[in-house]
C-alpha cells in the first residue's frame, strides 16, 4: 500500500485557479486510461482553503464522483515514501474543461469562510474510494458567490 499526495499549489506546478460563481474543479484523481490493470484509490485526507486577499466571503466546497476526466494539466502525485513507485492513478490539476460530474454524488460538502481553511480526515474504513473503472474518479471542486481569487486543495490517498 503506497501513499501519495496531490496538491494544486505544489511548488513544481503552482496551478491555483480563480474561483467564480460556478464550480471549478481544482484537482481530480481517476483510474488510468489505457492502463493494463486498473486500480482503486482511497482518499483519506482532504485539505482546502484560499490564499487571496483576506475578506469575509463564503466558499462552497464539494467532493464529487466524476465519470470523465475533462481537460486538465496532468500532475504526478508525490510519494509519501520515496521508495514507492509512482502512482498508477491519473492525477490532474487546473481543469480548463470541467469533468462530467455524476449527479447526486456529493461525497463531502462544506461551506467555509474564505478566511478559514478546512481539513477532512476519514475515519478508518470511511475513505472515499476511486473505483477501478476507466476515467471514473473523484474531484475536489469549489465556487463562491463573491470570492474571485485563488483557492488551494490537497488530498492524500493510497492505492
Q: Dump pLDDT digits (tens) for 82-95.
A: 999 989 899 999 89
Under the banding of pLDDT at 50, 70 and 90, the label for residue 125 is: very high
Write the pLDDT tens digit of every residue in 87-121: 989 999 989 999 999 877 789 999 999 999 999 99
- CA distance linking residue 65 with residue 138, whole number of Å: 4
pLDDT at residue 94 in the model: 87
**What burial class does residue 33 get, using C-beta atoms within 10 Å of its C-beta: 0-12 exposed, 13-18 middle, 19+ buried?**
exposed
Length of the chain: 159
Q: Is the pTM of this model over 0.85?
A: yes
Residues forming a β-bridge with 151: 17, 50
| Element spanning 18, H or E | strand 17-18
Contact partners, residue 14, CB within 8 Å, separation at least 6: none
Amino acid at each position: 500500500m503506497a501513499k501519495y499526495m496531490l496538491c494544486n499549489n505544489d511548488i513544481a506546478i503552482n496551478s491555483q485557479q480563480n474561483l467564480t460563481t460556478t464550480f471549478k474543479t481544482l484537482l481530480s484523481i481517476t483510474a488510468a486510461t489505457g492502463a493494463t490493470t486498473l486500480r482503486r484509490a482511497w482518499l483519506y485526507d482532504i485539505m482546502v482553503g484560499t490564499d487571496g486577499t483576506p475578506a469575509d466571503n463564503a466558499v462552497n466546497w464539494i467532493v464529487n464522483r466524476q465519470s470523465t476526466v475533462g481537460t486538465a494539466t496532468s500532475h504526478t502525485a508525490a510519494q509519501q515514501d520515496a521508495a514507492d513507485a509512482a502512482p498508477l492513478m491519473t492525477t490532474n490539476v487546473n481543469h480548463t474543461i470541467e469533468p462530467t460530474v455524476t449527479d447526486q454524488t456529493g461525497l463531502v460538502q462544506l461551506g467555509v469562510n474564505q478566511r478559514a481553511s478546512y481539513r477532512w480526515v476519514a475515519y478508518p474504513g470511511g475513505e472515499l474510494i476511486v473505483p477501478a473503472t476507466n476515467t471514473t474518479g473523484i474531484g475536489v471542486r469549489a465556487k463562491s458567490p463573491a470570492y474571485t481569487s485563488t483557492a488551494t486543495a490537497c488530498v492524500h490517498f493510497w492505492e
